[in-house]
Amino acid sequence: MQVELQSHGLRLETETAGASGRQGGAGPSDHKAVQVDGSTLMVPIYTAQSGESPYFATAPNEQGTATLYREGEPVSSISFPDPPAFYEHTTSDGVPMWKVAKLHSHNVLATTVLQNCIRYDDRDTACQFCAIGQSLEAQRTIAYKWPHHLAEVAEVAVAEDGVEQFVMTTGTPNTSDRGAKLLYESVAAVQEAVDLDIQVQCEPPDDFGWFERLHEAGADAIGMHMEAVEPKVRAEIMPGKAKVPVDYYMEAFADAVEVFGRGNVSTYILAGLGDSKEAIVSTSRELIDLGVYPFIVPFVPISGTPLENHSPPDDDFMASVLAPVGEMLVDAGMTSDTLDAGCAKCGACSTLRSFEEKARANRDR
Ligand code: SF4
């Protein structure tokens, strides 16, 4: 059920208070955090496809719990986390904290440090799934989160909401470090204010010395996101980013693993963009052998992007990819629960962790 729910999304009887939802931004978006069967999942709510989903939830009761239906039949209860307390605060220079960072899942603070990207404004270079400019246009965020903004939000979110990790991504600036310097300054400021596990996410920089600097500043993990694995899919879906060849990612991964350790280097793979099952599984094999965690998520199109009407991957496709990769991760001793920080540790945007658990249970039988 979780695989299907995450691919198809959810229709709601009424819009819940759920400020844990997010629309627009970098990477997979238009999701809301829900709790089903003891797991917290990010589920598409605001997409075109979710309006056609077989899943429907009633309005939540006073405790925040609702009934989840599949094609009209009740299948489970579902709950929606309350908006976090830090959303009520403002920074020392008057920026509402909800514009600086969002709560993801139930315990992760997440921000896009630079809400712009050199590739975004040009159709010939922009990633077709990306909506990094939308939330800025709608004034749901600010263009640049200064280090002191991040430090102040982190302090409040840890104290009032029990946040356990901070995921910092960035649009790619027009500098050869690919945003590593901005992330370095951000991590250093947050670590000076509060002790928090941090993952940074950027494109591979020109100088791999940035991995050591980021680690020394206090980053526990790094994500460098391939998004798609086959050259023809990469060129079609993300013509600018595809100019950074897969081989360069592999070189950067190998170097980063030396610094952050196995599993604390990861990459997003968006299943459903056109890559074959075989290509995703064989690339994942290569990544795991290098010590890189392939965080495979179902591609969910964001409203307002060129791919907004792209069909989500079907459940059989997702299961046929996640099952073998879950087994490989168990074999490698590199499962989500062994990681220090980041999306792969949070796991709410993919059901890969549940496939790891199944693979482990099968072994223990
Ligand atoms: S997996 Fe990453 S993007 Fe998804 S909710 Fe967790 S921290 Fe956010």
Q: Given this model, what pLDDT does residue 15 score?
A: 53
Q: Which of 201, 346, 351 to mutate to test the pocket of ligand 1 (most atoms within 8 A of CB)?
A: 346
State the distance from the centre of ligand 1 to the C-alpha of 346, rounded, in angstroms.
6
Q: Per residue in 180-200, pLDDT tens?
A: 999 999 999 999 999 999 999
Burial class, 47, CB count within 10 angstroms (exposed 0-12 / middle 13-18 / buried 19+) = buried
346 lines ligand 1 (CB under 6 A): yes
Number of the ligand 1 atom closest to the C-alpha atom of 349: 4
% the chain with pLDDT above 90: 70
Side chain identity at residue 264, one-letter code: N
Question: Does the beta carbon of 42 lie inside 6 Å of ligand 1?
Answer: yes
pLDDT of residue 217: 98
> 85-119 pLDDT, tens per residue?
999 999 999 999 999 999 999 999 999 999 999 99
Amino acid at 354: S
Atom of ligand 1 nearest to the CA of 346: 6
Q: Which residues contact 316 (CB under 8 A, 6 or more apart)?
A: none
Closest CA to 74 of 36, 32, 45, 34: 36
Of 106, 124, 135, nearest to 38 by C-alpha is: 106
Q: pTM (2 decimals)?
A: 0.92
Residue ranges and CATH numbers for the domains of the chain are 2-79 (no CATH), 84-219 (3.20.20.70), 259-365 (no CATH)
Residues 277 and 269: beta-carbon distance below 8 Å: no
Closest CA to 229 of 296, 179, 129: 296
Taking residues 263-282, report their average pLDDT: 97
- What count of Cα atoms within 13 Å lies in the side-chain half-sphere of residue 155? 15
Q: What is the pLDDT of residues 218-250, one digit of tens each?
A: 999 999 999 999 999 999 999 999 999 999 999
Distance CA 352, CA 211 (A): 26
Q: What is the pLDDT of residue 161?
A: 96
Min mean pLDDT across 122-131, 144-153, 280-289 is at: 122-131
Q: Which two tokens stand for residue 291?
A: 């010590």
